[in-house]
Structure 1
Amino acid sequence: MDDDRVWSFEKSLWLGDAENYRKLIDEECLMVLPQPPFVLSGKQAIEAVANTPRWIDVELSNRQVARPEEGLIVIAYHARASREDETYEAHCTSTLRRLSHEEWRVVQHQQTTPVAIPGTSEG
């Protein structure tokens, strides 16, 4: 999968519906999110998304792609998402595994919200 497709795939997970999530998240996926219960399996994450309002827009910046071996893609980025009167920011990673030609699933995802570092203006 080329880089443009990788980022389109990831963006679709932020903006797509629960059916898209079911299609692209592996049932054995592990996720770490910055709110309880913090650690989720793929099935738990899929169900959580089904009950959450979808994001209207997302910007993925500071994007990095690594391909440690054939059929495995690891990405890292900063996300800024919005819906109605809510915005959300997180530093994220995802790991994608190829199941067959042109068929990929997310097997790992994490989101870390920005933390205030003493002596800086970032938070």
Structure 2
Amino acid sequence: MEDNRIWEFEESLWTGDADVYRELVDDECVMVLPEQPFVFKAQVAIDAVSNTPRWSKVSFSEQQVMRPQEGLIAIAYKADATRDGEEYVAYCTTTMRRLEHDVWRVVQHQQTLPPVAGGATKG
């Protein structure tokens, strides 16, 4: 998959409806999200995200694309998303695997919230 298609694919996961999400996320996906229970797998991961409101706009920066082997793509990026006046920033990774020609599924996704400026550190 070419880089521009990768980012279109990823954007659709942020802004598309639940059907898009269910179509593009593998049944054996594992996710780490910044909400309880934090670690999600398989259908629980799909349900958790497909039942949340979609973002109306998302932009990516600090984008990295790695192709460690044929049929496997790992990406990392910073996401800036908005919906109804709400803003969200996270650093993310996604791993996709190819099932067949031009058919890709997400097998891993992780979101990390940046530290709050001036926040206390744990020690």
- If the length of structure 1 is used for normalisation, what is the TM-score? 0.92
Please report the RMSD computed on the Cα atoms of aligned residues, expressed in angstroms. Answer: 1.5
Residues 17-96 of structure 1 aligned to structure 2 (within 5 Å): 17-96=17-96
Name the CA distance, whole Å, in 2 between partners of 1:90 and 1:53: 16
Letter in 2 for 1:76: A
Name the CA distance, whole Å, in 2 between partners of 1:72 and 1:31: 17
> Deviation string for 1:64-119 (max 9, x for gaps)?
0000000000000000100002110000000000000000000000000001476x
Q: Is the Cα contact below 8 Å between 2:22 and 2:50 reproduced in 1? A: no
Structure 1 unaligned residues grouped into runs of 5+ = 119-123
Question: How many residues are aligned here?
Answer: 119
Name the CA distance, whole Å, in 2 between partners of 1:28 and 1:73: 16
Residues 92-107 of structure 1 aligned to structure 2 (within 5 Å): 92-107=92-107
- If the length of structure 2 is used for normalisation, what is the TM-score? 0.92
Identity of aligned residues (%): 59
Structure 2 unaligned residues grouped into runs of 5+ = 119-123
Q: Is the Cα contact below 8 Å between 1:71 and 1:97 reproduced in 2? A: yes
